[in-house]
A = this chain, B = another copy of it.
Amino acid sequence: MGVEKYPEALEFILHWGEMGTHWGANRSVAQVHALLYLSKKPLDAEAICGALDLARSNVSTALKELQGYGIVRRTHVAGDRRDHFVAETELWEMFMAITAERKKREIDPVIAKLAELKERMAANKDLPAHVRDRIGGMHDFINTLTTWYGQVRGLKKSTLISLMKLGAKVARFIPGGKD
């Protein structure tokens, strides 16, 4: 019996799907992800269709997308020819995979565009200074954030968890950062 038969599990799937529409993903992608996340055993595409009442092709697209994010992978089940799928259940891994992919899709293009504009603006003498400053400032700001992100994501998981537990107390290590 599939987990989607339990009311709480189904509600989780539906809510997750709904939230997905407000984030980058569409409803189907988020629902498939939620189902796999709750499932103990690998599921084949047909089983997912049945559980969520989605078209086979839609499930295929969703699985591809989730594999693109790196949070779902194919496995093989002995004695079964069909592909089966499992979701990453380590939440830290999942979170890292999603942020990395979203950065690639949504932040990197902005940085590239801002860099391009910056270059062109340097050669454009009658552009008001404040426009140059604002666009340049945005570029610098996003660069600062992503550089920080790039460094921090390289830390060991255990170190990151310790840092999170420390919370606001990290400020103790900063001169003048008592509060």
Seen from chain A, the residues whose Cβ lies within 8 Å of a Cβ on chain B are: 3, 6, 8-9, 11-12, 15, 19, 22-24, 37-38, 40, 89, 91-92, 95, 105-106, 109-110, 113-114, 117, 120-121, 124, 127-128, 130-131, 134-135, 137-138, 141, 144-145, 147-148, 151-152, 154-156, 158-159, 162-164, 166-168, 170-171, 173-177, 179
CB-based contact A8/B127 at 8 Å: yes
Copy number of this protein in the oligomer? 2
- With A3-B128, A117-B11, A159-B176: A168-B154 Cβ-Cβ less than 8 Å: yes
Name the contact of A3 in the complex, choosing from B89, B131, B137, B145 (C-beta under 8 A). Answer: B131
CA distance A59 to B164 in the complex (A): 41
